[in-house]
Structure 1
Amino acid sequence: MVKLKPIRNYSGAGADEKFCIPNDLLSALHFVNGARVNLKSQRKFNVFEPRNGEHLTEIHSASASQVDEVIDLSQKAQTSWSSTPWVERRQILQRTADLIRKHSNEISVWEVRDNGKSITEAKADVLSCADTFEYFSGVDLSGEHMPYDEQAKRFAYTRREPLGVVGAIGAWNYPIQTATWKIAPAIACGNSVVYKPSPLAPVSSILLAQLLQCAGLPDGVVNIVQGESETGTALCESAIVRKVSFTGSVATGQAIAKNCAQWAVKPVTLELGGKSSCIMLQDCDIEMAVNGALIANFFSQGQVCSNASKILVHQSILEEFTTKLLLKTEELRIGDPLNESTHIGACISLNHLQKVQNYIRGAVEEGAKVLYGGERVVVEALEKGYFLEEVFGAVLLIIPFETEQEALQKANDTEFGLAAGIFTNDLNKAHNFAAQLQAGTVYINTFNDTCEWLAVSQTNTHTV
């Protein structure tokens, strides 16, 4: 039996007393070698709260030399961490899950302030992070043992080993979840992580790093550097970083892939954007289809890579579907994201709000008809918040079709085959459609449910 060493910062039931969100949280938003720190540099960026448009803080971007120093620290920590007994590593991940659940309400408020999504969604996101850490606390890291010939006189085996330092770059639409999805599996397997959150949502990941420390994670195993593109480039170009994981736009993902191939041909995990469709066939349950369309478009203000912004509806049910969809849309409440009754919160930034509105204006100019909303909504007391009623935004496009072949053609008319959906009462037809859709993930009579992520074309390079 392995005898465990006492784990620092953890003392049974009293461990969560060591975690608190400091009043000066915004004063130091880099996390290096187990502590929040300020990294001074020549480049700075401003952070605004989507909920009310107020200026939250100014952050110095980590310079290339500072990123290199953090990577060096991370490499030293990884050497020790990789030799830590697996049973001890899994205990730390489980304790992290417990702490997240214990402090989910406080963390959720900061997720709202970071991103602008509704508090209801934020709470679900945070609790899902606990589930992720718990899942990876039980992951099987054993290799395989295989006989090599019939007499079994020879054999082959595989041995799973850590890569080393993992460089990870997160997205702003799911700040704490993106950090969790990258950090949890990496450290479970004995790697260390240098994580760069989006400059639009930089706070939640700092809270996650503090929780990991309270759970007993050694200093330097998880580090967080803030910055814009220059910081991310330095992280990708380091010869010490053995793998890069990125979530974000297709253009940036392509640049990262080229960069990593040029420097060391290091493995890259990319989770990029999509332009997905949802097909409502003639025989579908219309109530179910309407609910699916709402989830596929208005969840998280529409700022979800898998959202089905193209809703393809059979001509025979178009009128009934549209009428019921508008009635359901009118029931959605746009408001203060911290209000439990709010369904749709704020866009991430004013620039993004304007971009989404430009998509709407362009569609109207080309002949599209606005059925509901389409203008910026002003929420009382939050006039500077970035609210949009109605593309990475809450914009739903209804496109009629006559034949099933036409629907397939329109759904597959994209370079970004991330997801697709089919609503029908004929499961044989649903599976036949799924085989013909150029999308990595196909939902049947639902949308945006949790499952293994795949993609085709330019969208993903992995499963999540």
Structure 2
Amino acid sequence: MQGEYRQLFIDGQWCDAESGETFDDINPATGETLARIALAGASDVDRAVQAAARAQREWARWTGAERGRVLRRAAQLLRERVDEFARLESLDTGRPIQETPEADVESGAECLEYFGGIAAGIEGEYGDLSRAFYYTRREPLGVCAGIGAWNYPLQIACWKSAPALATGNAMVFKPAELTPLTALKLAEVFRDAGLPDGLYNVVQGFADTGRAMTAHQGIAKVSLTGEAGTGKKVMAGAAETLKQVTMELGGKSPLVIFADADLDEAVSAAMMANFYSQGEICTNGTRVFVDASIEEEFLKRLKARTRKLKLGDPLDPETQVGPLISKEHMELVLSYMEAGKESGARLVCGGERASDGDLAEGAYVQPTIFAGCDDDMKIVREEIFGPVMSVLTFTDEADVVRRANDTEYGLAAGVFTRDLARAHRVAGELQAGVVWVNNYNVTPIEMPFGGVKGSGLGRENGHAAIEFYTQRKSVYVELQGVDCAYD
């Protein structure tokens, strides 16, 4: 597929951007061009919105059961193409092929299946007022815009399009410019599943494309997954037309490990919370707070296991850590590693670019652990989005909760302890949208997902997502006539 041309997908058709402009999609493992991508401008966004609006009016008249059948069929088709989608995702993101079948393809299929299953059960409420009654209706918003991040492009495309479509909306989706391929391929799945033309459109591009979507009068809601700076711009732009907004933004999540924790399980969680997907996950528990009494043994086991991780070609089934998304991002992550060294943090392992042999052309860095960290260090305060773990110690529960909450972010957190009362107590005190107890980075589609503070607004997944893709209409029905004061 090297260098192939990928068009926009609008109104059920592949088409060129009106400007004829393109950009290159780069393989982060080799630096080679995977594909030339059509670059959507404001006029292309408008074409997509107009097509979506036409299709949505009819789609909203379908029953929930009818819409659900299309989504469940799409889930089946996605599973049938798991190898194709997983390979494409690994090529585009650099994430290992041992991850992408489950974390991307199956995760996306489960989302389509879940919202396909509940589409028929979306209902309102009823209230008896004695002389009258009222009921409420859950109605679609209209045309929804999805703006995706580059780390989990297929999963994010499904997380946004499935609830939108299940509730009778249309979707105009902009994948991240660095990883557009599987969101485009998903259009084929929807088409083959029987989704009417115009209901799922893909417009690829950069920030200007996203701004055109946010500003468009015909779009009722924007759902963004991205970093906090982008979120602020989207929210400001959406305010001009009073669009509804949901945003899942960045994080600097704490993972708190108490002395009574299962230490091997805690080490596994810390590795998953920092090195899975090369650390390019917004929920990652990059601030690992360890009870001081177990720090030495924790670091010993953590270092031994981390040094065994295999870096390499993402298409190699043995690879556990692939390249970062780009050379530019690699340089940013390396700068944080240098900042950690200069700040006085103790380098336990890693801390360098990995460039030996076959890794030389890719954006590879070593999984890195810093110990002896304090709360004011740059590597502890700022989101790095790479495989860089900061280990801090604590001796008091109340103090570690205070320190864990001392951040502008609030996306996720983790607690490891065998003490059930402590687990619930600390989970209740942590300022985060998601708290995992004795596990980390598990996101079942049934569970609402999203952040607080600077980590976003609204929720994705679970029944909670329905709230953010519908509007409630109240209908009052009089039974005994109008009691008019002017008779």
Normalization by structure 2: what TM-score? 0.87
1:88-118, Cα deviation, whole Å (9 max, x unpaired) = 2211111101101101001110001110101
Aligned residue runs from structure 1 range 38-437, under 5 A: 38-41=16-19, 44-124=22-102, 125-139=104-118, 140-149=120-129, 151=130, 153-262=131-240, 264-378=241-355, 380-390=357-367, 391-437=384-430
1:13 equivalent in structure 2: none
Question: Letter of the aligned partner of 1:276 in structure 2?
Answer: S
Q: Does the CA-based 8 Å contact 1:141-1:189 persist in structure 2?
A: no
Q: Does the CA-based 8 Å contact 1:145-1:155 persist in structure 2?
A: no
Distance 1:437 1:116 in 2: 33
Distance 1:363 1:238 in 2: 43
Question: Letter of the aligned partner of 1:421 in structure 2?
Answer: G
The structural deviation recorded for 1:160 is: 1.5
Cα 1:383–1:85, aligned 2, differ >3 Å: closer, same or farther?
same
1:388-431, Cα deviation, whole Å (9 max, x unpaired) = 12110111111112322331222111100111111111111111
Question: Letter of the aligned partner of 1:438 in structure 2?
Answer: Q
1:463 equivalent in structure 2: 459
The structural deviation recorded for 1:281 is: 1.1
Normalization by structure 1: what TM-score? 0.91
| Greater shift in the superposed pair: 230-239 or 449-458 | 449-458
1:8 equivalent in structure 2: none
Cα 1:273–1:170, aligned 2, differ >3 Å: closer, same or farther?
same
1:37-63, Cα deviation, whole Å (9 max, x unpaired) = 221427543221112111223334211
The structural deviation recorded for 1:347 is: 0.4
The structural deviation recorded for 1:189 is: 1.1
Secondary structure, aligned partner of 1:384? coil
May I ask how many residue pairs the two structures share in their alignment? 439
Question: Letter of the aligned partner of 2:193 in structure 1?
Answer: A
Q: Unmatched 5+ residue regions in structure 2?
A: 368-383, 461-487
The structural deviation recorded for 1:244 is: 0.6
Secondary structure, aligned partner of 2:250? coil
Distance 2:165 2:350 in 1: 45
Question: Letter of the aligned partner of 2:16 in structure 1?
Answer: N
The structural deviation recorded for 1:86 is: 2.8
Question: Letter of the aligned partner of 1:440 in structure 2?
Answer: G
Secondary structure, aligned partner of 2:348? coil
Distance 2:14 2:359 in 1: 31
The structural deviation recorded for 1:452 is: 2.1
Q: Unmatched 5+ residue regions in structure 1?
A: 1-22
Q: Does the CA-based 8 Å contact 2:93-2:151 persist in structure 1?
A: yes
1:139-188, Cα deviation, whole Å (9 max, x unpaired) = 15442342323x4x422111111111111100100010000000111111
Distance 1:165 1:141 in 2: 22
Question: Letter of the aligned partner of 1:163 in structure 2?
Answer: L
Structure (1 or 2) with the greater strand fraction: 2
Distance 1:70 1:403 in 2: 55
Distance 2:125 2:209 in 1: 42
Q: Does the CA-based 8 Å contact 1:336-1:379 persist in structure 2?
A: no
